[in-house]
Amino acid sequence: MNWLNLSELENLAKKQIEPTAFDYIASGANDEITLNNNVEAYKKIQLLPRRLSSNANPITKINIIGQDMSYPIIIAPTAFHGLANKKAENATAQAAQQTDTTMVLSTLSNTTIEDAAQSNANMWFQLYIFKDKKITLELIKKAESSNYKALVITIDAPILGKRERDIRNEFHLPNHLSIANLTEHMQEAELGQRKSASSLEQFFKEQLDNSLSWKDIDWLSSQTKLPILLKGILHPDDAKLALQAKVSGIIVSNHGGRQLDTAISTIEALPGIAKIINKEIPLLIDGGIRRGSDILKAIALGADAVLIGRPIIWGLADDGINGIKDVINFLRDELKQSMQLVGCKNINDLTAEIIRKTTNQDT
């Protein structure tokens, strides 16, 4: 491992990934305000440690939707791992298995549902809902038959956010990569050689259902026995509706700052949503986590676990399977260190009492 923190790792990855591909991975919507705020908001949260707590071996075990996990770190669904490494999501799944981590495979993966499952990792599947419901059902059935343990439904992308770097670069997948799970449903030009605009934007317009409502969540629930988690909730009222829909969990997410710019950062949205959820269902969060202390803060403010996105891709680019393992181990070790320094013996005991209250933070 030739880096000390995830900022250094990002710089290393930037040198190894083709520039337009790196822009796709790193960019956010419009002025990238939300993208940056996701990271900066964690830095503004101050901790109030307790002393003499005798916590030489902090316990990080959790249980999410009936699944035991050694620590509250999950690999977030991110598209096109093949842009970072030729083994693509197969490498990521193997790293998840070797570190006892859960991986959420993206609909927009370069590896099929079936191939990624060969890793024997604990796998969830992230699902976009298509205009053609037959495609949606086909993906669900593949996930079920491949022993995936949950569905993560992305609900914050009725259309694609304006990602100016992708538009400027006219981003498209290189010829050797495809959306592996959708190859038979896509025309040859889609995400191929289209040069007039971002082909990803074109894909969203042509394939995904932009008229989603809570009725669609009810429909999905009737089509599968897998637990359903909703990814993309930021407003407390939507958290109330998620409870009414009887989903199995929600993920506080702004799509990594890639959809609506100037949307609230996820860690700032978390406390208000945690108040509504009140531990009735698992509450997860993604976006901007770069330190073990960030994980500590998220758990203290009401999350049950966190999802890690871009740093996983940076690790994949830097050193394949081992690079991802380094990222996970880095965050896990810093989390344990932060628990020791803040005076917490068990991750499940963390509360907002360790967070310094400020006038602009709803805790």
Known catalytic residues are 255
Backbone angles phi, psi at 125, to 5 degrees: -120, 125
Question: In Å, how far from its chain's centre is CA 256?
Answer: 8
Q: Are 233 and 251 in contact (CB under 8 A)?
A: yes
User: What is the rounded CA–CA span in Å between residue 308 and residue 283?
Assistant: 15
CB-based contact 129:208 (threshold 8 Å): yes
Q: Is 362 exposed, middle or buried (0-12, 13-18, 19+ CB in 10 A)?
A: middle
170 within 8 A of 198, measured Cβ to Cβ: yes
Cross-strand partners of 102: 74, 122
Residue 86 to residue 90: CA distance in whole angstroms: 9
Can you say whether residue 203 is alpha, beta or left, with left for phi > 0 and alpha for psi between -120 and 50 degrees? alpha
DSSP 87-128: THHHHHHHHHHHTT-EEEE-TT-SS-HHHHHTT--EEEEEEP
Residue type, position 31, single letter: D
How far is the C-alpha of 320 from the C-alpha of 247, rounded, in Å? 35
